[in-house]
Amino acid sequence: MTQLNDFQLLVLEKETIQCSDVAELLGDYTDKELPPTLRARIDSHIHQCEHCQELERSYRLTVELAGQLNTNNPLPRGVQTRLRKALNEKLGLSLPLA
């Protein structure tokens, strides 16, 4: 059974969830670590919000790339940096650019 953290509880209690809530929980969402009730709420928000659909796509890409960066076949450095920069701007992350 997944233990809810404070933020997840807070979101669960809200009447309407916001894009910022989705952004905050996207990691757990993608890792399938959210309880079904909360997951369903995020699902339905993403379903009707283009911004969050884009966000989710970018996030999945980040996760995939993070996996690839650990292999012996990393992306060219310039590409990596450009991508990280774009993700930082889009998702409000702070991935190192070097």
State yes or no: residue 14 binds Zn ion (CB under 5 A): no
Q: Which of 19, 66, 86, 93 binds Zn ion (CB under 5 A)?
A: 19
The Cα–Cα gap between 98 and 90 comes to 18
Q: Per rule CB under 5 A, is residue 23 in the interface with Zn ion?
A: no
List 52, 56, 62, 84, residue binding Zn ion (CB under 5 A): 52
Quick one: which of 58, 49, 54, 51 has its CA closest to 95?
A: 58
Q: Measured between alpha carbons, how far is 66 from 62 in angstroms, rounded to an integer?
A: 6
11 counts as binding Zn ion under rule CB under 5 A: no
Interacting residues toward Zn ion by CB under 5 A? 19, 49, 51-52
